[in-house]
């Protein structure tokens, strides 16, 4: 029996790196410090695993040697005119880099889950920028914490205890040293523990943020209520924000995926920029997958763009809505797909899923998923952060190396190794003409 300490968790954007994982034989039997999601991933890591690579023959998926599966996957991509390579947020940076190299080689479109998640936040950043910092700054300095359209007590379970209201920082020692504000359309779990809860009418955040900016400047707001919120509450919040020593605003899909999308983050960024005239204020998107930020980061240094990259012309083209996977698939423009560490058949619109299944489909995933059940090639992979190592980037950009604590099941390779194999085979096919 062995206990590993300081193990970084491969689940959400918190990338907590203090897990204590106990292994007996080749089984994980206990996880200390982890949240419910973490425990679920670690203790169930052997469930629903794909035991061997498979190729579809008729209605059946038949087990084959890994080399056969890799060759078939390479051939599918090689023969396709416009393949889509999608997923990437739940695997290592090293694998993502290889994915981009592969997409360049086959002239496809490569996209990660950002395009259906925090994409609008990044689009807003491209317009206005982002006053930000790493999470330790918040832990040590922030006396005002705001969660807007984000419910960490159900999505990022240890965010508050590790980084915001519950963390022991250099200058903020306890809950008493912080004020918590929650803005949401309903009273979430997080709202219940807030000092201030602002209930905003659904899809009216843009107006509320505008009113806040006006209140900051002591401008007269003519209505009694904006977005369902009494103006006195808006003015009080503005005073709170302007009067703090260090404010940190975390935002989630409540803003990026409601009416306005990137415009909501646009004006939120303007608000935070404004606040920096009076005090120190930062903002941060609550990234979901443990390496979705890493996917953006690797995409950026290799292509210049964070997601939705078309490489069919031999150089990167970025046009969300045109080059994003869900849109390419929905418009039936692609003729093959490689899905890695993601399950779009369970999440994407019907037309996109129809395209997925009516064209050659390769899935690389440790587990059986909705997408893999009808795939033409299924290649099982090792779990990054449990069975193999790899670098991931936290929601604030801090890179942490994930480690393996057990060996992968017999014959199961890492995403990195699989992709390298496919890339080599594609190049061989191209050389042979």
10-49 positions binding another protein, by CB under 8 A: 17-18
Binding mask 258-297 for another protein (x = CB under 8 A): ---------------x--x--xx-x-------------xx
Q: Minimum distance between the CB of residue 104 and another protein, rounded to whole angstroms?
A: 6
Q: Minimum distance between the CB of residue 137 and another protein, rounded to whole angstroms?
A: 5
Nearer to another protein, 279 or 330 (CB): 279
- Looking from the CA of 70 toward its CB, the CA atoms found within 13 Å total 21
Query: For residues 325 and 83, what is the distance between their CA atoms, to the nearest angstrom?
Result: 10
- Site size for another protein (CB under 8 A): 62
Contact 32, 20 (CB under 8 A): yes
Contact 357, 329 (CB under 8 A): no
SS3 at position 401: strand
Bridging pattern class, strands 377-379 and 361-364: parallel
Span interacting with another protein, options 20-28, 58-66, 146-154, 163-171, rule CB under 8 A: 163-171
Query: For residues 22 and 291, what is the distance between their CA atoms, to the nearest angstrom?
Result: 24
Among 245, 259, 332, 411, binds another protein (CB under 8 A): 245
Backbone angles phi, psi at 48, to 5 degrees: 55, 30
The reply to whether 304 sits near another protein by the rule CB under 8 A is: yes
Span interacting with another protein, options 36-44, 149-157, 184-192, 308-316, rule CB under 8 A: 308-316
Nearer to another protein, 61 or 91 (CB): 91
Long-range CB contacts for residues 71-74, cutoff 8 Å, separation at least 24: 71/425, 72/376, 72/377, 73/338, 73/362, 73/377, 73/379, 73/422, 73/425, 74/422, 74/425, 74/426, 74/428, 74/429
180-239 positions binding another protein, by CB under 8 A: none
Q: Minimum distance between the CB of residue 342 and another protein, rounded to whole angstroms?
A: 22
Among 147, 206, 290, 305, binds another protein (CB under 8 A): 305
User: CB neighbours (10 Å) of residue 166?
Assistant: 15
Binding mask 73-102 for another protein (x = CB under 8 A): --------------------x---x---x-
Query: For residues 335 and 359, what is the distance between their CA atoms, to the nearest angstrom?
Result: 6
Q: Helices 93-106 and 292-303 meet at what angle, rounded to 10?
A: 50
Q: Minimum distance between the CB of residue 203 and another protein, rounded to whole angstroms?
A: 26
Contact 136, 172 (CB under 8 A): no
Nearer to another protein, 88 or 393 (CB): 393
The reply to whether 393 sits near another protein by the rule CB under 8 A is: yes
Backbone angles phi, psi at 334, to 5 degrees: -100, 160
Nearer to another protein, 57 or 239 (CB): 239
108-147 positions binding another protein, by CB under 8 A: 122, 125-137, 139-141
Q: Minimum distance between the CB of residue 17 and another protein, rounded to whole angstroms?
A: 5
Q: By CB under 8 A, name the binding residues for another protein.
A: 5-6, 8, 17-18, 93, 97, 101, 104, 122, 125-137, 139-141, 162-163, 167-168, 170-171, 245-246, 273, 276, 279-280, 282, 296-298, 300-306, 311, 313-316, 318, 391, 393, 397-401
């Amino acid at each position: 029996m062995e206990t590993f300490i300081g193990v970084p968790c491969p689940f959400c954007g918190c990338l907590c790196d203090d897990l204590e994982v106990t292994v007996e034989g080749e089984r994980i039997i206990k996880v200390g410090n982890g949240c419910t999601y973490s425990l679920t991933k670690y203790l169930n890591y052997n469930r629903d695993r794909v035991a061997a690579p498979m190729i579809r023959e008729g209605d059946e998926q038949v087990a084959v040697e890994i080399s056969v599966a890799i060759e078939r996957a390479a051939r599918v991509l090689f023969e396709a005119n416009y393949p889509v390579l999608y997923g990437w947020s739940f695997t290592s940076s090293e694998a993502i880099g290889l994915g981009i190299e592969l997409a360049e080689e086959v002239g496809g479109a490569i996209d990660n889950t950002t395009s259906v998640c925090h994409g609008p936040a990044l689009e807003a950043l491209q317009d206005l920028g982002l006053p930000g910092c790493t999470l330790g700054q918040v832990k040590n300095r922030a006396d005002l914490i705001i969660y807007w359209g984000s419910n960490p007590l159900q999505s990022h379970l240890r965010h508050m205890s590790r980084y915001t209201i519950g963390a022991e920082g250099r200058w903020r020692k306890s809950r008493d040293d912080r004020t918590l504000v929650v803005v949401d359309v309903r009273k979430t779990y997080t709202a219940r523990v807030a000092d201030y809860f602002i209930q905003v009418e659904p899809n009216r955040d843009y107006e509320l943020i505008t009113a806040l900016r006006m209140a900051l400047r002591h401008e007269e707001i003519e209505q009694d209520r904006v977005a369902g919120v009494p103006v006195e509450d808006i003015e009080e919040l503005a005073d709170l924000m302007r009067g703090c020593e260090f404010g940190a605003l975390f935002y989630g899909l409540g803003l990026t995926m409601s009416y306005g999308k990137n415009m909501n983050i646009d004006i939120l960024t303007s608000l935070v920029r404004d606040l920096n005239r009076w005090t120190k204020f930062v903002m941060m998107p609550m990234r979901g997958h443990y390496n979705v930020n890493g996917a953006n980061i690797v995409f950026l240094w290799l292509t210049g763009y964070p997601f939705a990259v078309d490489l069919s012309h031999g150089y990167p083209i970025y046009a969300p809505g045109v080059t994003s996977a869900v849109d390419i698939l929905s418009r039936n423009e692609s003729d093959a797909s490689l899905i890695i560490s993601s399950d779009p058949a369970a999440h994407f619109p019907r037309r996109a899923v129809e395209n997925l299944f009516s064209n050659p489909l390769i899935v690389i995933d440790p587990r059986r998923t909705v997408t893999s059940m009808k795939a033409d090639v299924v290649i099982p992979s090792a779990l990054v952060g449990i069975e193999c190592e790899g670098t991931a980037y936290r929601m604030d950009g801090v890179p942490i190396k994930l480690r393996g604590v057990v060996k992968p099941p017999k014959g199961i390779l890492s995403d990195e190794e699989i992709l390298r194999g496919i890339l080599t085979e594609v190049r061989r096919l191209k050389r042979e003409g």
